[in-house]
Amino acid sequence: MAETNGTTNGAVLDIPQTYVGTRTVRPDGVDKVTGRARFAADFNLPGQLVGRVLRSPHPHARIISIDTSKAQALPGVKAVITRDDFADQASELIPAGEMMMNYRDVVRNVMAREKVLYEGHAVAAVAATSVAVAKKALKLIDVKYEVLPHVIDVVEAMNPSAPVLHPDLFTAGVEPKPDKASNVAKRIEIAIGDIEAGFGKADVIVEREFNTAPVHQGYIEPHAALATVSEDGTAEVWVTTQGHFIVRAHCARLLGMDISKIRVTASEIGGGFGGKTVVYLEPLAVALSRKAKRPVKMVMSREEVFKASGPTSGANIRVKLGASKDGKFVAGYAELRYQAGAFPGSPVQPGVFCAFAPYDMENVKVVGYDVVSNRPKVAAYRAPGAPISEFAVESVVDEIAKKLDIDPVELRLQNAAREGTKAAYGPKFGPIGLTETLHAVEKTNHYTTPLQPWQGRGVASGFWFNIGGETCASLTVNEDGTVSLVAGTPDIGGLRASLAAVAADELGVPYEKVRPIIGDTGSIGFNFLTGGSRSCFSGAMAIVEAAKEIKADLCRRAAKLWDCKPEDVEFSHGAVRAKGAAAGKHTPMTVADCAKVAGKTGGPIGGTGRINAQGAGPSFGTHLVDVEVDPETGRVTILRYTVAQDAGRAIHPSYVEGQFQGGAVQGIGWALNEEYIYGKDGKLQNAGFLDYRMPVASDLPMIDAILVEVPNPRHPYGVRGVGETPIVPPMAAIANAIEQATGVRFTELPMSPPKVLKALRERGLNTREALRSGNGKNGHGKNGH
Amino acid sequence: MARVVLVGNLAQLTGGVAELDLPATSVKHLFALLRERYPDIGPHLEEGIAVAIDGQIYQDSLLEPIEPASEVFLLPQIAGG
């Protein structure tokens, strides 16, 4: 068994790379375009029941009582569950996407206990023989509430007079420990240098306050789970998730089951983006099935997805940046206030770390606050926390560029983090590619194309750490020389194609002969979830280890067949070859040749990589966007968009470009339209795609993707994670472009038509005279800046 | 001895000491030395700490070696979406 402690310090491998770096046909493509691919809601079992959830109509209320007797008596109802079906959990922190989450909170989030903390909070669930019976049963459940005052906005939630969600929540990270509970779960701070001295040296200082709206990950496939629990207590679950091993662990913990008794299969996934790193329906489906002794299938409606699954934080940010007259950033300060939703655990920590990460600065201080409010508990969303803080900082960087009359790309280049730069959060960066991405956009035709009135061009950079983590993957050489590849992290962005290419190159077999699948939790060792831009990075490392095991085994077998010393055999260029004293005496054996005699040389051939992958390389990106503002409606149209990002090495360029494009598009939605809109009653008013406006293909130009490849020296193929960084720069890039088009600096997201129109009106920019003269600000001068 | 820097709120658990020199030879050894000197930090070392050794961030990697001249940062674990 190949095992490492994750310390493999791999250089880029010296093996023929026939498939790595090429645009191989995706192995899941045919099933997806023909409709055969099975998403979670496509799974069915004989005798299955329909599961439905009763959700709170109140944003904040104490639960006085829950009477399920009438529902239980309804013909066709086979099980009803409430808080009483889940044992309370002790306080214990666990990784949950980008942050730590507390099991005490998880059990309260999947099923409310003492209080409901947001509209849509689960209060009870039923399993019934039909949808109609299930819906009727929900109406028969009598919940008595004591309605409490609520608070949604993050700044209001921090007010000492705000309704307190958790009477036992005392702000951590402040001295002395507060004696009064509040909604501020945590204060965090990082600091390097001396910001007062730094600002004292500044020739120009820009300070601004920003606000961002809560936005949802917006995956097309709703949460869904099918669970069946046998009379012997073993369970099987089919679910859409970014981490089926995590689903298994959470279900086992929340329901008091052995992990070995739960087998979870990850379906094809219709988007996750971080939002499917936690559990909602899964423990309910298992609990209902255990009680009903029949399979139970649960599928969220779109309204439930919006109201009860994790969006990311809305936030309030204050940023101050100082620079010398020649453009050197001398000090930066930021205060970040992030909504966590109903329970502590917003992504403010990475927001704090990332805020000034793209820049080489001596004096930085960032303070963050994790704040609970009566909204769904936030879940990870691509580079969680970073888009918010970097939106604010990158907007201010643009203002500094304008004040100093320095090209915004040149200003960023002047201050950019490079290898050896000490990040504001501590460590020095290794080889990174920020400057390469800046140079890449600078060289584009896009950057120099003239702009028209009411058009503007914006640029912004972004950073994300990336991670590795526990990963297991296996390769089995079949009797005919084909290869079965089993990975354990759900494929949300091209994992199967990427790992198959690595396996094909490692073993010297045709790509088409490698069949990759995502194994269930019973068929492969533990894998941390797909998140943190880790699955291709870590999975490729595990495949390399698995292939090493196979190649070593084949060499041992060949040495015995050839009656030569093991050191006289090597695996190179896709075959076992004799060398040294045995050189030229034996015909090389390919993997297929070895497979033919596997039974006679020791049995099945296979290898497994089991690693805790370390050595993730950060990824930086720079985005360039042209917009046009309609002064009569306030609508902002994206005219042209270019993404340049350091991928380290693009195993599958099309998928990497797809990540760049997808991240940019989600960022465009975040910038221009998406927001959770609450009424004064604390209820979400736009829980559907008609009113929660996400970009669609017809809203957008083709997103140009530029692959920058600065290899990660800690990965055998040089890979860096790529999935998260591309959502970081769009909001600032677009705000900077709109500023250039209109002269108005927008500090609040989304920059939706009503807000843009209002701002133009307030400044008299959309008067008839202004419109007639084309008197919007526009791209003038070099590069439109 | 390795130069050890505690990032963010961790220094609140060491009486405000944010930088110190420790003869740590591995992450496991580093955690033991920190626990010995500052008992309050113990539980936090179990709750998701990343360790950056000479610029490279390690997570859940107790056996990672630390050299005498290493610069080590302790910071909260990082994951993602």
Task: Supply angle C-alpha A478, A481, A482, rounded to 5.
Answer: 70
The pLDDT value recorded for residue A10 is 41
CB burial string A120-146: b at 16+ within 10 A, e below: bbbbbbbbbbeeebbebbbebbebebe
Tokens 């940046």 identify what position?
A321
CB contact under 8 A, B79 and A99: yes
Find, among A479, A533, A485, the residue nearest to A506 by Cα: A485
Give yes or no for A465 touching B (CB within 8 A).
Answer: yes
Together in a domain, A131 and A277: yes
Same domain, A550 and A630: no
Rounded CA-CA distance A56/A82 in Å is: 13
Residue A350 lies in a domain: no
What pLDDT is attached to residue B47? 72
Question: What is the spatial distance between Cα A105 and Cα A112, in angstroms, rounded to a whole number?
Answer: 10
* Contact B71/A at CB under 8 A: yes
**Token duo for residue A426:** 């501590």
Mean pLDDT value across chain A: 94
Select the residue of B9, B55, B65 nearest A173 (Cβ to Cβ).
B9
pLDDT digits (tens, 9 = 90+) for A477-503: 999 999 999 999 999 999 999 999 999
Burial of B48 (0-12, 13-18, 19+ CB in 10 A): middle
| Cα A485 from Cα A473, distance rounded (Å) | 7
**What pLDDT is attached to residue A782?**
42
Given a cut of 50, is residue A437 above it in pLDDT? yes
Return the pLDDT at A9.
36
**Would residue A201 count as lying in a domain?**
no
More confident residue, A528 or B10: A528
Shared-domain flag, residues A649 and A544: no
Positive or negative: CA dihedral A347, A209, A191, A732: positive
Q: Is the pLDDT of residue A222 over 80?
A: yes
The pair of structure tokens assigned to A535 is 């699955």
- A chain contacts of residue B77, beta-carbon cutoff 8 Å: 95, 100
Neighbour count for residue A674 (Cβ, 10 Å)? 24
State the pLDDT confidence band at A12, using cuts at 50, 70 and 90: very low
Look at residue A766 in the predicted model and tell me its pLDDT.
78
Q: Specify whether A626 is located in the same domain as A589.
A: no
Mutate to test the interface with A, among B3, B10, B14, B57 (most CBs of A within 10 A): B57
Q: Is A430 on the interface with B (CB under 8 A)?
A: yes
Measured torsion, CA atoms of residues A689, A690, A695, A701, in degrees rounded to the nearest 10: 140
pLDDT tens digits, residue range A639-677?
A: 999 999 999 999 999 999 999 999 999 999 999 999 999
CATH number where A462 lies: 3.30.365.10
> Residue range B8-30: average pLDDT?
92
For residue A460, being part of any structural domain is answered with yes
Q: Is B11 on the interface with A (CB under 8 A)?
A: no
Of A5, A427, A464, the CB nearest to B80: A464
Q: Which of A556, A495, A679 is nearest to A59 (CA)?
A: A679
Residues 230-289 of A with CB under 8 A from B: 273-275, 277
Cβ–Cβ below 8 Å for B79 and A98: yes
- Looking at the fold, whether A622 and A708 belong to one and the same domain comes out as yes
CB atoms within 10 A of CB A645: 34
Residue A144 located in a structural domain: yes
Which chain A residue has its CA at the smallest distance from B71's CA?
A427
Backbone angles phi, psi at A360, to 5 degrees: -90, 100
Q: How many domains in chain A?
A: 3
Q: Do A71 and A142 lie in a common domain?
A: yes
The reply to whether A624 and A675 lie within a common domain is yes
Nearest to B61 among A6, A533, A714 (CB): A6
Tens of pLDDT along A262-315? 999 999 999 999 999 999 999 999 999 999 999 999 999 999 999 999 899 999
Q: Letter for the amino acid at B54?
A: D
Could you write out the DSSP letters of every residue in A439-504? HHHHTSHHHHS---BTEEEEEEEEEE----EEEEEEEEE-TTS-EEEEE-S--SSSHHHHHHHHHH
Radius of gyration of chain B (CA): 11
| H/E segment holding residue A393 | helix A386-404
User: Residue B78 — very low, low, confident or very high, per pLDDT cuts 50/70/90?
Assistant: confident
Helix, strand and coil content of chain A, in percent to the nearest 5, comes to 30, 25, 45
Residue B72, both tokens: 């080590």
Which of B9, B52, B64 is nearest residue A427 as measured by Cβ atoms? Answer: B52
What is the reported pLDDT for B59? 87
Chain A residues with beta carbon closer than 8 angstroms to that of B65 = 7
Q: Which two tokens stand for residue A697?
A: 């293909």
Distance from CA of A426 to the nearest CA of B (A): 6
Instruction: Please state the separation of Cα A330 from the chain's center in Å.
Output: 32
Query: Where in chain B are the domains?
Result: 2-76
Residue A529 has pLDDT above 70, yes or no: yes
Verify that A8 and A57 share a domain, yes or no.
no
Which residues of chain A lie closer than 8 angstroms to B12, CB-CB? 173, 175
Query: Residues A600-617: what's their mean pLDDT?
Result: 96
| CA neighbor of A328 nearest in space, from A360, A370, A371 | A360
Average pLDDT of the residues in A356-375: 98
**What pLDDT is attached to residue A772?**
65
pLDDT at position A774: 57
Please indicate, yes or no, whether residues A450 and A478 belong to a single structural domain of this protein. no
Sorted by sequence, the CB contacts under 8 Å of residue A64 that are 6+ apart come out as: A144, A145, A146
3 state SS of B34: helix
Residue A618 makes CB contacts below 8 A (sequence gap 6+) with: A429, A432, A463, A464, A465, A466, A720
Residues B8, A6: C-beta atoms closer than 8 Å = no
Q: Which chain B residues are closer than 8 Å to A721 by Cβ? A: 80
Q: What pLDDT score does A360 carry? A: 98
Any B CB within 8 A of A766 CB: no
Last residue of a domain, one of A284, A308, A332: A308
Which tens digits make up the pLDDT trace of A173-185?
998 899 999 999 9
Domain boundary among A597, A613, A629: A613
Note the helical H segments in chain B: 27-37, 42-45
Rounded Cα distance, A700 and A694, in Å: 11
Burial annotation A316-339 (CB, 10 A radius, 16+ → b, else e): bbebbbbbeeebbbbbbbbbbbbb
- For residue A76, the one-letter residue type is G
Q: Are A554 and A594 in contact (CB under 8 A)?
A: yes
Cα separation, A94 vs A250, whole angstroms:
10
Give the domain extent around A283: 40-149+221-308
Nearest to A467 among B5, B47, B59 (CB): B59
Is residue A783 over pLDDT 70?
A: no
How many percent of chain A have pLDDT more than 70? 95
| ipTM of this complex | 0.91
Would the pLDDT of A3 be above 70?
Answer: no
Chain B residues with CB-CB distance to A97 below 8 A: 79-81
- For residue A630, the one-letter residue type is D
Question: What value does the mean pLDDT take over residues A156-168?
Answer: 97
Digit-coded pLDDT (tens) for A112-152: 999 999 999 999 999 999 999 999 999 999 999 999 999 99
Residue A588, judged by CB atoms within 10 A of its CB (0-12, 13-18, 19+), counts as: middle
**Residue A7, pLDDT score:** 33
For an interface test with B, give the residue of A312, A465, A471, A725 to mutate (most B CBs within 10 A). Answer: A465
Rounded Cα gap, residues A118 and A10, in angstroms:
48
A46 and A24 within one domain = no
DSSP state of A178: P
H or E stretch at A65:
strand A61-67
Percent helix, strand and coil across chain B, each to the nearest 5:
30, 30, 35
Q: How far is CA A655 from CA A468, A488, B19, in A?
A: 19, 19, 43
Indicate whether A163 belongs to any domain. no
Is the backbone peptide bond immediately before A588 cis, with ω within 30 degrees of 0? Answer: no
Between chains, do B54 and A428 touch, taking CB under 8 Å as contact?
Answer: yes
**Distance (Å, whole) CA A19 – CA A16:** 9
Query: What gap in Å lies between CA A46 and CA A523, rounded to an integer?
Result: 24
**pLDDT for the residue numbered A96:** 57
**If you search the block for the tokens 């990965």, which residue do you land on?**
A715
Find which of B5, B10, B28, B56 to mutate to test the A interface (most A CBs within 10 Å of its CB): B56
Q: How many CB pairs under 8 A join A and B?
A: 119
Is A300 within a domain? yes
Taking alpha carbons only, the member of A465, A500, A486, A503 closest to residue A614 is: A465
- Same domain? For A662 and A711 the reply is yes
- For the cut 70, the answer to whether the pLDDT of residue A8 exceeds it is no
* pLDDT-based confidence at residue B77 (cuts at 50, 70, 90): confident
- Asked if A695 and A686 touch (Cβ cutoff 8 Å), the reply is no
Tokens of A763: 């400044």
Q: In this predicted model, what pLDDT tens digit does every residue of A39-79 receive, in sequence order?
A: 999 999 999 999 999 999 999 999 999 999 999 999 999 99
**Closest C-alpha among A547, A557, A544, A548 to residue A593:** A557
The reply to whether A4 touches chain B by the CB within 8 Å rule is no
User: Which pLDDT does position B16 carry in this prediction?
Assistant: 87
In a domain, A385, yes or no: no
Per-residue H/E/C for A1-51: CEECCCCCCCCCCCCCCCCCCCCCCCCCHHHHHHCCCCEHHHCCCCCCEEE
A766 and A627 in a common domain = yes
CATH number of B2-76: 3.10.20.30
Can you tell me whether residue A156 is helix, strand or coil? helix
Non-local (6+) Cβ contacts of A634 within 8 A are A752, A753, A754, A755, A756, A757, A758, A760
pLDDT tens profile A192-221? 999 999 999 999 999 999 999 999 999 999
Tell which residue, A465, A536, A471, has the closest CA to residue B52: A465
Domain end position, chosen among A613, A646, A676: A613
Whether A332 is in a domain gets the answer no
pLDDT given at position A778: 55
Mutate to test the interface with B, among A8, A241, A246, A353 (most CBs of B within 10 A): A353
Three-class SS state of A510? coil
DSSP-assigned states of every residue in B1-23: -EEEEE-GGGGGGGTT--EEEE-
- Which CATH number goes with the domain that contains A258? 3.90.1170.50
Q: Give the neighbor-by-neighbor strand order of the sheet with B49-53.
A: B19-22, B2-6, B71-76, B49-53, B56-59
Q: What angle do CA A277, A278, A283 make, to 5 degrees?
A: 135
CA atoms of A352 and A350, how far apart (whole Å): 5
User: Measured in whole angstroms, how far is the alpha carbon of residue A764 from the centre of its chain?
Assistant: 41
Closest chain B residue to A721, measured at CA? B80
Mean pLDDT, rounded, for A336-364: 96
In chain A, % of residues over pLDDT 90? 92
Per-residue pLDDT of A536-570, as tens digits, reads: 999 999 999 999 999 999 999 999 999 999 999 99
